[in-house]
Amino acid sequence: MSILIKLSTTLRDMVPGYEPETGLSVSLKDGESSITAGELASRIGIPLEEIKIVMINSRQSELASVVADGDRVAYFPAVGGG
């Protein structure tokens, strides 16, 4: 199972070696049949409280959403402005 992860802005700095152009490909561990978006974020070292928006295959989702083989998952922090 391979999942492509894309990170936005400040979240990129939390994953050493992250390349914005290619993203990060993650595989499930042996014996795992599924994973949630929140578990996936924790696995790569992003604190869940830093994530404000989750997109799975370009659709807004939740941290509790299950991610499937071949999915594209994007994480976004809170966006400020004024």
User: What does the pLDDT read at residue 64?
Assistant: 98
> H or E segment at 37?
helix 37-43
- The domain total for the chain is 1
**Would 81 be classed as within a structural domain?**
no
* 18 found inside a domain: yes
For residue 52, give the CATH number of its domain. 3.10.20.30
- Distance in angstroms (rounded) separating the CA atoms of residues 40 and 63: 9
pLDDT of residue 11: 97
Element (H or E) spanning 38, and its range? helix 37-43
pLDDT in single tens digits along all 82 residues of the chain: 689 999 999 999 999 999 999 999 999 887 787 899 999 999 999 999 999 999 999 999 999 999 988 999 999 998 766 5
Confidence (pLDDT) at 21: 96
Bridge partner list, 67: 35
14: three-class secondary structure by DSSP: helix
